[in-house]
Structure 1
Amino acid sequence: MYSPTPDDWQDANRARWDERVPIHVASDFYELDAFRAGKDVLRAFELAEVGDVTGKTLLHLQCHIGVDTLSWARRGAAQVVGLDFSEPAVEAARDLAATLGLGPDRAAFVTADVYDAPTAVPDPAYDIVYTGIGALNWLPDIPRWAETAASLVAPGGFLYLAEFHPLTDSMDDATGSVVTDDYFSSEAWVDETPGTYADSDAPTVHNRSVEWQHPVGEVVTALAAAGLRIEFLHEHDVSLFPRFGALERHADGCYRFPADRPRIPLMYSIKASRPAPHER
């Protein structure tokens, strides 16, 4: 249900994520054995839009157990840093990095709230600040997030965001064709659903979550106001999970609407850069 932001939103969300870390580590959803063996978990559109990361430094905000973070290291990033507010998630990420033979000089993970990132990460700025997927909905204040993220982008570097499109949260679950909720709602969404996206049948105790919906225009405007230059905003007709009953799974593992029905955007991505001094 929608409600004003509860005072315990952060504690509730942290307890929920802490409890789900071991479930995710053991789940078929994350397939960590396959990941350790070399499976790449990054999405094709992300690889194309971010480009070559060889020799670059990359900060991943809200990294969870670090599979995306470590994938960028495997693709040649000189150093990756992952940040998450869940200590069990960070511990899992460190363990995973160790099994891949990536020491702290190549892959470091820190526990901190995303809004505290500038004082928590080891370096003041990065070539790439990366965030996604399913991250912004856990944050109440997008302008503050944008200011924080932008402050960590080095001159000549960029922020890259890949996210689920907020329009999907306004549509009916069965078909994704009927508007059922307010796209522009700014109130918190408080839920008590047990289980997790990685295992809906997993027994869980800490089920309370507090989330927010952020229109795409709010995100773009906040990044521009924080001093970044918007390079692109792309909308995608694919999802990573069957958000609507009408979606069909394709050979690439992504979900799309059937070819015979109108589409809506299911995900979006933004690249926003900080010009180098000579480019100003």
Structure 2
Amino acid sequence: MPTPAPADFPADWREVNRSNWDERVPIHVAGDFYELDAFRAGKEALRDFEIAEVGDVSGRTLLHLQCHFGQDTLSWARRGAAQVVGLDFSEPAVEAARALAAEIGFGPERAAFVAADVYDAVEAVPDARYDIVYTGTGALNWLPDIERWARTAASLVAPGGFLYLAEFHPLTDALDDETGSKVVHDYFSRDAWLDDMPGTYADLDAETVHNRTVEWQHPIGEVVSALCATGLRLEFLHEHDMSLFPRFDHFTQGEDGYYRFPAGRPRIPLMYSLKATRPV
């Protein structure tokens, strides 16, 4: 776990985080973690629970906030979305997303990518409202103000449409890094977390220079309350007992590809997902 920052977190947090992500984009694109060659050949990149919970996207418009280099965004296009738009604050990520879209046969009229901060999404994206606003795993921890995020995201949902979020469960950030069996951090902390670890989750041994990051944890109650305050109606909140990576040392990988605690150990939520709709 990173170390907590003072309450007055660094004013340059956005630029610090952007430099970190800009440097890691080419590492992620060239490495094995994202299996891009398999993706180009048609391999599914979305998680099965996301596909089931989002449902049929055929003929619908979809906005993906904090899309990285667009692999998940383009997966929704492959699944039949009429138009997908991906937004990310990293210019190299957006350039890589556009290149990937062209490689697999999607032009900008079907799959567009925009470089902008998520808080500026309303002004940055080409359409005012989307049938689906989607955001994937590992996104909210980079944002200091969850209420502002909720207002921005909700304002982009068309009447009758919905926001879908899949995230790592904030409870895991309160546990010890080794075993995940002890509560060692404050679940309700609103302080920023600073980290200086080199490399990247996609390649721990990668040589990197821009290693400083600033992150925040957001209890589920705050996320749900922030979305409900915008007028969206919560349809479901699901908690999941699996993770996408070996978050703790004792995790084992199942045949489904997910990581869990060993059999016989009491389970805790490791991820969560929610859907919130805008009434017609």
- TM-score after normalising by structure 2: 0.98
The 5 A counterparts of 1:175-214 are 175-214=179-218
Distance 2:134 2:141 in 1: 16
Aligned residue for 1:72? 76
- 2:34 aligned partner: 30
1:270 aligns with 2:258: no
> Does residue 238 of structure 2 align to residue 243 of structure 1?
no
Structure 2 equivalent of residue 60 of structure 1? 64
1:2 aligned partner: 4
Query: 1:219 maps to which residue?
Result: 223
How many Å separate the matches in 1 of 2:43 and 2:22? 25
Q: Using the TM superposition, give the Cα deviation of residue 175 of structure 1 relative to its aligned residue in structure 2, in angstroms.
A: 1.4
Partner amino acid, structure 1, of 2:71: V
Structure 1, unaligned stretches of length 5 or more? none
Letter matched to residue 244 of structure 1: F
Determine if the alignment matches structure 1 residue 13 to structure 2 residue 21. Answer: no
CA deviation string 1:195-237 (max 9, x = no partner):
0000000000000000000000000000000110000000000
Greater than 3 Å deviation, 4+ residue runs = none
Q: Which residue of 1 aligns with 2:157?
A: 153
Identify the residue that residue 41 of structure 1 maps to in structure 2.
45
Distance 1:48 1:132 in 2: 15
Letter in 2 for 1:103: G
Candidates 102, 107, 110, aligned match of 2:111: 107
Letter in 1 for 2:91: E
1:93 aligns with 2:97: yes
Instruction: Report deviation, 1:173.
Output: 1.5
Distance in 1 of aligned mates of 2:184 and 2:136: 25
**Partner AA of 1:8 in structure 2:** D
Q: Distance in 1 between matches of 2:157 and 2:20?
A: 30
1:47-83 CA-partner distances (Å, limit 9, x unpaired): 1100000000000000000000000000000000000
1:180 is aligned with what amino acid?
A: V
Q: What is the Cα deviation at residue 258 of structure 1?
A: 1.4
Distance in 2, Cα, partners of 1:259 & 1:2 = 33
Distance between the aligned counterparts of 1:148 and 1:57, measured in 2?
Answer: 17
AA paired with 1:172? D
State how far apart, in whole Å, the 1-side matches of 2:25 and 2:246 are. Answer: 22
SS at match of 1:13: helix
Amino acid at match of 1:167: L
Counterparts of 1:106 and 1:259, CA distance in 2: 44
Residue 253 of structure 1 deviates from its aligned partner by 1.2
In 2: Cα distance, 1:257 partner to 1:187 partner: 28
SS of 2:43 mapped into structure 1? coil
CA distance in 2, matches of 1:20, 1:2: 23
**Is the partner of 2:272 in helix, strand or coil?**
strand
CA distance in 2, matches of 1:20, 1:180: 30
Matched residue count = 276
**CA positional deviation for 1:171:** 0.5
Question: Deviations along 1:243-268, whole A, 9 cap, x unmatched?
Answer: 01111001121101112100110000
SS in 1 for 2:45: coil
Could you tell me which amino acid in structure 1 is paired with residue 237 of structure 2? L
Q: How many Å separate the matches in 2 of 1:187 and 1:229?
A: 29
What amino acid is the match of 2:252?
E
CA deviations over 1:20-40 (Å, ceiling 9, x no partner): 000000111011110000010
Give the distance between the partners of 1:246 and 1:155, measured in 2 at CA.
Answer: 45
